[in-house]
Amino acid sequence: MVRTPVGFAGSSPEAAELGKRLKEAREYVGITQEEAAAHLGVRRSAISEMEAGKRGVGALEMKSLAALYERPTSWFTGEIEQQVAEDVAFLARTVSELSENDRGELASFAEFLRSRSKVTKNG
């Protein structure tokens, strides 16, 4: 298998940062290393090595992990920085645990709050 590495294996800062982002995203969505490995068709130790910055990540592997972890590939490579206020991050984590029906109700309530806020600012 030919692999085009996204991260550099070894102790480079880029590899360490990519590994940190991979681990953070995996843990955020509640996926184990075993589940990620099964998704990619690799050993669990390969995921561990990627997260430790000791193994490069192929372009197709990166694309697959980004889809699994629900993040754009550019977030992992550092091309874009996602800085979200802590309260917004908390809400996102909490909402992800709600049922589909409850998320719909929450979305409706958020729209209500947004429209109320617009009326207050304009009125």
Quick one: 25 and 69 in the same domain?
yes
Quick one: 50 and 98 in the same domain?
no
Q: Record the pTM.
A: 0.59
Number of domains in the chain: 2
Distances (CA, A) of 104 to 95, 96, 110: 10, 12, 10
Quick one: 118 and 71 in the same domain?
no
Quick one: 73 and 90 in the same domain?
no
> Does a structural domain hold residue 19?
yes
| pLDDT tens digits, 8-53 | 445 688 899 999 999 999 999 999 999 999 999 999 999 999 999 9
| pLDDT tens digits, 72-105 | 888 888 776 555 566 777 788 888 888 999 999 9
Quick one: 101 and 72 in the same domain?
no
> Does a structural domain hold residue 60?
yes
CATH number at residue 69: 1.10.260.40
In one-letter notation, the amino acid at residue 74 is: S
Quick one: 91 and 70 in the same domain?
no
Q: Which domain holds residue 55?
A: 13-77
Quick one: 23 and 58 in the same domain?
yes
> Does a structural domain hold residue 5?
no
Mapped onto helix, strand or coil, the DSSP state of residue 5 is strand
Quick one: 64 and 23 in the same domain?
yes
Q: How many CB atoms lie within 10 A of CB 109?
A: 10
User: How far is it, in rounded angstroms, from Cα 88 to Cα 106?
Assistant: 14
